[in-house]
């Protein structure tokens, strides 16, 4: 252990995953996550049930992360925690736990913005192997269950929103469609899987009409609902008989909407480096289509490893690492920020 090394214990509990990571500088020593199956049957996250499960999971998850990292609490230099955006009750569990650790160990507390975390996941390294991190400035398409944004990243902690959804997030458009199809939550990964064997040219959906570099998914969601209702009225086995083609067509449509603005943004800003981040960046079609832009637009693209796409504490740890370098520490009186920009 070198004196200049920084060890950070990070906690993420903004939605329905309880996660704890231990980082040595930018290297992930452990990243343990407990998901919550309970929400599957409700078609979405039930906030009250989520906070109760965080309460149950947080001690075992922190314990597992410390064990895996083979490190004791006394070696940790700072505690990082997600302070928002997210669900109030869920954020409160992580924040209260992190504050207690910081107070009892007498080490700094560092609050982290969840969406910044998703973007900075690109700078994580495993076993000393650094992923190919994007150089500054780069453009990041940040796509999750609550966000859809185009962000110019000028430095580790410098972000500018160039475009964003004016209503629902693309992850929500995946999850709500899955619910309409009778699939469990979260629907994104299931639609992705079913779409692989479907024909994406079979069905068409509404195209949003939005200004500048902004997105809109609410109309697409509604057109999907009417499309299913109308077809089921004519044939009650419509979903069953066409499930894979419906998933393939709908997913293809969502990805096309995302890529249209990405291309427009690249043309307008002249950026040569494009990254994707957030839960929906785990989508196989999005990953393939973004990769194809390398040749089409002569740019370099950066796609995070699967484990760092969906919610995880390692991304909170890396963001805190850059804040630690600048001495950006938080007071123990901070409270959760349910809605907050990057
Ligand atoms: O970043 P994340 O784990 O949590 C939030 O911050 O919201 O993103 C969760 C979202 C959900 O909407 C989920 O359905 C979606 O990411 N997602 C996917 C895939 N994996 C996760 N969407 C499409 N394809 C996937 N493979
Ligand atoms: Zn997230």
Percentage, residues of the chain above pLDDT 90: 92
Q: 130-145 as b/e, with b when 16 or more CB fall inside 10 Å? A: ebeebeeebbbbbbbb
Give residue-wise pLDDT tens across range 99-113.
999 999 999 999 999
Output the pLDDT for position 3: 62
DSSP 3-state assignment of 255? helix
Counting atoms of ligand 1 from 1, which one is nearest the CA of 311? Answer: 3
Output the pLDDT for position 206: 87
Output the pLDDT for position 2: 61
Does residue 34 have a pLDDT over 80? yes
Strand partners, 207: none
Please compute the mean of the pLDDT values over residues 38-57 and round it to a whole number.
92
How many other CB atoms are there within 10 angstroms of residue 306's CB atom?
11
Output the pLDDT for position 1: 58
Q: Side-chain half-sphere of 336: how many Cα atoms within 13 Å?
A: 19
Provide the pairing of β-strand 273-277 with 138-143: parallel
Q: What are the structural domains of the chain?
A: 7-131+308-326 (3.30.420.40), 138-303 (3.30.420.40)
- What is the rounded distance in angstroms from the CA atom of residue 148 to the CA atom of residue 68? 34
Relative to the alpha carbon of 169, which ligand is closest?
1
Q: 124 C-alpha to center of ligand 2: Å?
A: 16
pTM comes to 0.96
Pocket perturbation via mutation, ligand 1, pick of 184, 255, 310, 338 by most ligand atoms within 8 A of CB: 310
Q: 274 C-alpha to center of ligand 2: Å?
A: 19
Output the pLDDT for position 41: 84
Q: Which residues have any ligand 1 atom within 6 Å of their CB?
A: 15, 144-146, 171, 174-175, 186-189, 192, 278-280, 282-283, 310-311
Relative to the alpha carbon of 280, which ligand is closest?
1
Please compute the mean of the pLDDT values over residues 176-186 and round it to a whole number.
96
Output the pLDDT for position 126: 81
Please compute the mean of the pLDDT values over residues 260-266 and round it to a whole number.
98
Beta strands in the chain (DSSP E): 7-12, 18-24, 27-34, 78-84, 109-113, 125-126, 129-130, 138-143, 148-155, 158-164, 273-277, 300-302
- What is the rounded distance in angstroms from the CA atom of residue 128 to the CA atom of residue 197? 38
Rounded to the nearest integer, the mean pLDDT of the chain is: 96
Relative to the alpha carbon of 258, which ligand is closest?
1
Question: What distances in angstroms separate CA 287 from CA 12, 53, 275, one per listed residue?
Answer: 25, 32, 10
- What is the rounded distance in angstroms from the CA atom of residue 204 to the CA atom of residue 206? 7
Please compute the mean of the pLDDT values over residues 60-89 and round it to a whole number.
97
Which residue's structure tokens are 């704890």? Answer: 20
Counting atoms of ligand 1 from 1, which one is nearest the CA of 86? Answer: 6
Give residue-wise pLDDT tens across range 190-224.
999 999 999 999 999 988 989 999 999 999 999 99
Provide the pairing of β-strand 125-126 with 129-130: antiparallel
Q: 143 C-alpha to center of ligand 1: Å?
A: 8
Q: 209-235 as b/e, with b when 16 or more CB fall inside 10 Å? A: ebeebbbbbebbbebbeebbeebeeee
């Amino acid at each position: 252990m070198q004196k200049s090394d920084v060890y950070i214990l990070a906690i993420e509990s903004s939605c329905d995953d309880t996660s704890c990571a231990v980082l040595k500088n930018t290297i992930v020593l452990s990243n343990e996550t407990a998901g919550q199956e309970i929400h599957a049957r409700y078609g979405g996250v039930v906030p009250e049930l989520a906070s109760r499960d965080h309460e149950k999971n947080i001690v075992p998850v922190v314990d597992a992360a410390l064990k895996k990292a083979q490190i004791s609490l006394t070696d940790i230099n700072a505690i990082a925690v997600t302070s928002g955006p997210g669900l109030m009750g869920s954020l409160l569990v992580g924040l209260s736990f992190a504050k207690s650790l910081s107070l009892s160990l007498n080490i700094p507390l560092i609050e982290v913005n969840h969406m910044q975390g998703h973007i900075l996941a690109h700078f994580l390294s495993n076993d000393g192997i650094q992923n190919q991190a994007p150089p500054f400035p780069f453009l990041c398409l940040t796509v999750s269950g609550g966000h859809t944004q185009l962000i110019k990243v000028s430095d580790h902690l410098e972000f500018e929103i160039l475009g964003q959804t004016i209503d629902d997030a693309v992850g929500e458009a995946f999850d709500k469609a899955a619910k309409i199809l009778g699939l469990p939550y979260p629907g994104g990964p299931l639609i992705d899987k079913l779409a692989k064997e479907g024909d994406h040219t079979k069905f068409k959906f509404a195209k949003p009409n939005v200004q500048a570099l902004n997105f809109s998914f609410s109309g697409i969601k509604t057109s999907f609902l009417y499309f299913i209702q109308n077809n089921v009225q004519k044939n009650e086995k419509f979903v069953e008989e066409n499930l894979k083609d419906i998933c393939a067509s709908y997913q293809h449509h969502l990805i096309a909407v995302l890529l249209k603005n990405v291309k427009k943004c690249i043309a307008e800003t002249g950026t040569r480096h494009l990254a994707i981040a957030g839960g929906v960046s785990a989508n196989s079609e999005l990953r393939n289509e973004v990769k194809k832009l390398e040749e089409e637009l002569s740019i370099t693209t950066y796609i995070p490893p699967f484990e760092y796409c969906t919610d995880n504490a390692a991304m909170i740890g890396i963001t805190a690492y850059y804040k630690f370098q600048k001495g950006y520490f938080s007071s123990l009186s901070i409270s959760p920020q349910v809605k907050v920009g990057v």
